[in-house]
Amino acid sequence: MTMYLRVTKTVKLNVKESDRIENVKALLHDKEGIRVCHQQLVSEDNRLMDERKLVDYGICENSTLHTYVEDSVIPVILLYVKRSYAEGAFTVYSRIYDTVKDVKSRIAAKEGTNSEEFSLIHDEDSLLQVVPGTMQIFIRKCNSESIMLDVHRHDLIKDVKGMLLNKLAIPLHLQNLVFARKCLADSRDLASYNIHKESILYLVLHMTPNVDNAR
């Protein structure tokens, strides 16, 4: 016959409120040897998603989470993920009953992004292709109204300046973009500055010397 046993044990973990759920699972794996792919964390009947942070669920000091350990005989599938904006591929695990949303959540956790910002294409066998979706950001020039741009997280700053050239006819060499009090380098992408959906960038124009005064 088949029997099912419920074993209750409390494990203390030292975490930060800014830790992702996947980090908490990794700590539990290190302490108890439970594979991350077999863990499911729950708080107040809410299933906790890997890419979210503890603070997102209002989890604070001395909170108690419930861990459900899935049957280890459930097949785990290894998926290979390629990105159009980076070389090489990385792997994520999946289970036969996982939804596309579940897989996207794991990819987002590894990439440090939001699962709503990309789509998945199934190329062949266990290979997935990540296709970045667009997001809207705002460009504000001095006290003027903001301009909305449709961009990808991995667009380069110089590409954004090119969009502003088309919209505002401002030469590239006169544009200086600022976010979080940092001047943005042309060769870096939006993601490297943690620029996300609905972020506001400030456009500061370089001043050109007056030719007559320079003589």
Report the CATH number that the domain containing residue 200 is assigned in CATH.
3.10.20.90
Cβ atoms 197, 114 nearer than 8 A: yes
State whether 143 and 192 are in the same domain: yes
Q: Specify the DSSP class assigned to residue 7.
A: -
Residue 139 lies in a domain: yes
pLDDT for res 37: 78
The pair of three-digit structure tokens given for residue 214, joined into one six-digit string: 């320079």
- For residue 146, what are the domain limits? 135-207
State whether 146 and 92 are in the same domain: no
Residue 56 lies in a domain: yes
Residue 12 lies in a domain: no
Residues 155-168: b if buried by 16+ CB within 10 A, e if exposed: bbbbebbeebeeee
Q: Give residue-wise pLDDT tens across range 97-156.
A: 778 888 888 888 777 777 777 888 887 778 898 887 788 999 998 777 889 999 988 899
pLDDT for res 51: 81
| Position 211 confidence tier, pLDDT thresholds 50, 70, 90 | very low
Q: Give residue-wise pLDDT tens across range 45-99.
A: 788 988 888 998 999 888 899 888 876 555 678 889 998 777 888 888 787 777 8
State whether 167 and 199 are in the same domain: yes
User: Does residue 212 surpass a pLDDT of 90?
Assistant: no
Q: Give residue-wise pLDDT tens across range 188-207.
A: 999 889 898 899 999 999 86
What is the arrangement of strands in the sheet containing 89-95, beginning at the earlier edge strand?
89-95, 76-83, 127-132, 118-124
- What Å distances lie between residue 33 and 12, 39, 137, CA to CA? 14, 11, 43
> What is the tally of structural domains in the chain?
3
- What Å distances lie between residue 3 and 6, 67, 142, CA to CA? 10, 20, 69
State whether 90 and 147 are in the same domain: no
pLDDT for res 199: 93
Q: Give residue-wise pLDDT tens across range 27-52.
A: 888 888 888 878 889 888 788 988 88
Residue 4 lies in a domain: no
The pair of three-digit structure tokens given for residue 154, joined into one six-digit string: 């991995």
User: Does residue 215 surpass a pLDDT of 50?
Assistant: no
Residue 14 lies in a domain: no
Rounded Cα–Cα distance for residues 73 and 177 (Å): 53
167 vs 115, higher pLDDT: 167
- Residue 61, helix vs strand vs coil: coil
